[in-house]
Structure 1
Amino acid sequence: MRKWAIFLGLFLLAACQNAVKTPETLRPLAGEGGTYIALLKPGAAAEALARDHGLAVAAEDRLEALGMVVLRNLPPGLAQRLAQDPRVQSLTPDRPVQAYAQTVPWGVERIGAPTTQAKGGNVSVYVLDTGIKVGHEDLTNLKGGYAVVKCRGRCKAAYDDDNGHGTHVAGTIAAVNNAVGVLGVAPAAELYAVKVLSGSGSGSISGIVQGLNWVIAHNNGGKPKVVNMSLGGAGTDDQDGQYCPSVRSRDALHNAIQKAVCDHAITVVVAAGNEGDDAANHTPAAYDEAITVSATNSRDDWPSWSNYGPDVDLAAPGVGILSTWHTSTTAYNTISGTSMATPHVAGAAALVLSRYPGHTPAQVKAALLQNAESTAGWTNTSGHPHPEPFLNVRGF
């Protein structure tokens, strides 16, 4: 059964569709308080836009690296006027996001990670999730982070983990080789916690784009960057079949991922989702710019709940995965989901970039696919088509 509503795996979003300036598409989800993400036209200033409409915009809502601004508590009439402002390319209503996981326990050994010469050194991996447990014995490579949604309870930092999901993901990516606990795929990589989900695993698109904005702007000394997004929700690819098109998406989430991947060479790895559905019906899984990951079990088979379809790029271990946990600095837990498969691939991307730091996201994806294991001879009892190859890092 699913442990959370987080797919830490996918967010529960209203359908991600092109933001059209109509009353229907500008209607915010109930309870979201009239929050919108304005994608500004080139040269437009968020400060001037806010002033002209009598709005106060906090500094953290001015997403300069993305050319966006988060606008909160807008009455419907004001939202309509902003949508028609010539400086606004599109206005996307905020939508909730959640993390997925399922209860049930293996993975780094199967993909061959312990055999690699590359260990992820000089690569930064950003975990957009519920945070990462600060001070965990197996996550001494946590270098810092940023909190869109602040940790609640006994937290050592705003980006500390009050759920567990983000800590679990981080351990699979890069738990250090220190003779205790578990070993991550890329134990020499450095981790950054980007807390965009609450202790209940909920969040919003505005939080995701705020997190991506921070990742793009963050000075990590020029090292290659990888983003892990074990989250998602309902929606479709508004530019299906187009990788980094010159005319970018008008949807805020897709546009932000395109800017990260296409303009800033950040490799983005995302979960396919846990609905047993075509990944084309879920975002960011459906986006061509991301590397989308399904989940397998220790019998080289896919569970019925793992999403499928042409948008899925790779399969990776996602059932019964042991990793770090948030309840103490020495805690570990075993859970399942495409959320647990995704960090195997994010760690693998770090391995590639530690050997080839100049690789673009497209080249990273090509390297992973070229080295992947064919699943043509596997027994597939999931009830869904799963032709995607299985992650293999042997030889890296």
Structure 2
Amino acid sequence: MFMPKWMLALVALPVVAVGASNAGEPAAQGDFWAARDVQVPASSNGEKLRIGIWDSGVDTTLFEGRVARSESAQDLVRGYDAFKLRQDTPMAKLPASVSTWQDDLNRVLQAFDDIDGNVDSPRARALQERLKQQTPEEKALFDDAVGRWSGYVHGTAVADIALAGLDRTEIVIARMEWWHGSPPVPCWSRELADREAASIRDQLAFLVEHKARVVNMSWGRAEAAYLGNLERCAADTPIEERRALARYTVEAIRTALREGMAAAPAVLFVGASGNAGTSVEEANPATRFALPNFLLIGAVDRKGNKTDWTNTGPEVTLYANGDRVPARLPGGALSYPSGTSMATPVVVNAAAKMLAVNPNLSGAQMRALLEQTADRNATGQPLLHTKRAVEAARTSNASQ
């Protein structure tokens, strides 16, 4: 899973409240992106469109009436815990040592969002001051709490972005967890790699079975992450064995994804390219492959300019705003996170709008129209143009 961008260089502080909310928050997307967006008419006919949120879980209390339900009136949720065992809850089960700090941890994330976006706010200044006063003990407590919380909130923020401005749209939730702590728990193994691949195969089938037409995948499962896990908890294992296990894991997940997506041509799958500022080839996420109904998304800023942290490469065929995208955290606090994780649901939102005017589009057709209606910025990145994509979908519908 890709962490919020600031987590790539995490520093620690005591877990405390860090100040009041910002005054003068940015517009939802800024003038550049607002001019390229479009609202689709409200509809009262037909079935609700379903979006798959395949992430760390969703605070369903924020989405009353927006979570798809089974015939037995149960929320459509398929979840797996950090040990890759079934746990069909919409959110992870956190220890009280983390969950009781929800409001404080949300404010910490909001402050990091401001620092990350070069916004001089009272909460950012308060956080920076506390950073100077940290002790080793406070750092250890913070690393565990904020690390787990940042992952915990990720899917809720993604869902909020994906659903923005959509009528008669609901979500199907596929929840996944990863390791936590230092040393990490669990320590990676061949058994966990096989369970991970099996869980991904199962969740993909679950999303397709329950008629998600667009699936948001703001994660990548990169090879380096598994190596990092093993370096911290199995350093005595020869490096060649660690590398082989990391590569085995990525390739097993890639096979499960590629086979499952290829068998679901009606669905568009949208993945995040990652935030390491490198090539997708070098990062080698499990999502590095090509299919007609799979898009890999990079991030540009609120003016359409390339960011220095987005992953790039020929596999990344569309870019969208990933710069301070408004999104709610569990409990409802508003944040402004940045990253390819945020650019991805912006594209999912555009695809859902296309389906609102033309529900007959296949996954490959959605991808093709999104790419064909994009234009390029000064450095050559193809930029999402939602208004043109929706109009192309509408025109395509009229000619069918």
Q: Same fold (TM over 0.5)?
A: yes
Cα 1:295/1:279, change in 2 over 3 Å: same
Task: Structure 1: give runs of 5+ residues left out of the alignment.
Answer: 7-103, 175-183, 237-249, 381-385
| 1:131 CA displacement | 0.2
Corresponding residue for residue 361 of structure 1? 363
Distance of 2:203 and 2:383 partners within structure 1: 32
| 1:116 CA displacement | 2.9
Corresponding residue for residue 310 of structure 1? 314
Corresponding residue for residue 390 of structure 1? 384
| 1:324 CA displacement | 1.5
Counterpart of 1:388, as a letter, is: P
Corresponding residue for residue 160 of structure 2? 171
Residue from 325, 328, 334 that aligns with 2:329: 325
Counterpart of 1:3, as a letter, is: W
Distance of 1:292 and 1:306 partners within structure 2: 12
Counterpart of 2:387, as a letter, is: V
Deviations 1:29-72 (A, max 9, x none): xxxxxxxxxxxxxxxxxxxxxxxxxxxxxxxxxxxxxxxxxxxx
> Is the aligned partner of 1:340 residue 2:347?
no
Corresponding residue for residue 125 of structure 1? 51
Counterpart of 1:167, as a letter, is: T
| 1:185 CA displacement | 5.3
Contact 2:318 2:381 in 1 (8 A): no
Residue from 185, 189, 214 that aligns with 1:226: 214
| 1:284 CA displacement | 3.9
- SS of the counterpart of 1:273? coil
Distance of 2:161 and 2:197 partners within structure 1: 21
Contact 2:49 2:212 in 1 (8 A): yes
Counterpart of 1:135, as a letter, is: T
Corresponding residue for residue 268 of structure 1? 269
Task: Structure 2: give runs of 5+ residues left out of the alignment.
Answer: 10-24, 69-74, 82-86, 100-148, 187-191, 225-249, 392-400
Cα 1:258/1:303, change in 2 over 3 Å: same
> Is the aligned partner of 1:279 residue 2:280?
yes
TM-score scaled by length of structure 2: 0.56
| 1:361 CA displacement | 1.7
- SS of the counterpart of 1:306? coil
Counterpart of 1:130, as a letter, is: S
Contact 1:352 1:367 in 2 (8 A): no
| 1:322 CA displacement | 0.9
Contact 1:272 1:292 in 2 (8 A): yes
- SS of the counterpart of 1:115? coil
Cα 1:393/1:188, change in 2 over 3 Å: farther
Contact 1:122 1:224 in 2 (8 A): no
| 1:291 CA displacement | 0.2
- SS of the counterpart of 1:275? coil
| Structure with a larger share of its residues in strand | 1
| 1:172 CA displacement | 0.4
Contact 1:124 1:224 in 2 (8 A): yes
Deviations 1:250-298 (A, max 9, x none): 9322222223322122321000110111122332442112201111111
Corresponding residue for residue 251 of structure 1? 251
Corresponding residue for residue 141 of structure 1? 66
Deviations 1:143-192 (A, max 9, x none): 3311112511389xxxx997211000000001xxxxxxxxx153432112
Contact 2:172 2:212 in 1 (8 A): no
Contact 2:161 2:327 in 1 (8 A): yes
Counterpart of 1:142, as a letter, is: V
- SS of the counterpart of 2:319? strand
| 1:302 CA displacement | 1.4
Distance of 2:30 and 2:345 partners within structure 1: 10
Distance of 2:334 and 2:180 partners within structure 1: 19
Deviations 1:68-119 (A, max 9, x none): xxxxxxxxxxxxxxxxxxxxxxxxxxxxxxxxxxxx9633972644433488
Distance of 1:269 and 1:364 partners within structure 2: 11
Cα 1:161/1:389, change in 2 over 3 Å: closer
Contact 1:123 1:189 in 2 (8 A): yes
Residue from 297, 305, 312 that aligns with 1:301: 305
| 1:331 CA displacement | 2.1
| 1:391 CA displacement | 3.7
Q: Identity percentage over the alignment?
A: 22
CA RMSD of aligned residues (A): 3.6
Cα 1:278/1:256, change in 2 over 3 Å: same
Contact 2:319 2:381 in 1 (8 A): no
Distance of 2:156 and 2:220 partners within structure 1: 18
Distance of 1:229 and 1:134 partners within structure 2: 18
> Is the aligned partner of 1:107 residue 2:29?
yes
Corresponding residue for residue 26 of structure 1? none
Deviations 1:374-395 (A, max 9, x none): 12xx344xxxxx5333342344
Distance of 1:323 and 1:285 partners within structure 2: 25
Distance of 1:341 and 1:230 partners within structure 2: 9
Cα 1:108/1:341, change in 2 over 3 Å: farther
Contact 1:118 1:351 in 2 (8 A): no
Corresponding residue for residue 195 of structure 1? 175
| Structure with a larger share of its residues in helix | 2
Cα 1:358/1:256, change in 2 over 3 Å: farther
Contact 2:329 2:335 in 1 (8 A): yes
Counterpart of 1:214, as a letter, is: Q
TM-score scaled by length of structure 1: 0.57
How many pairs were matched up? 261
Distance of 1:227 and 1:173 partners within structure 2: 10
Distance of 1:337 and 1:390 partners within structure 2: 16
Contact 1:118 1:352 in 2 (8 A): no
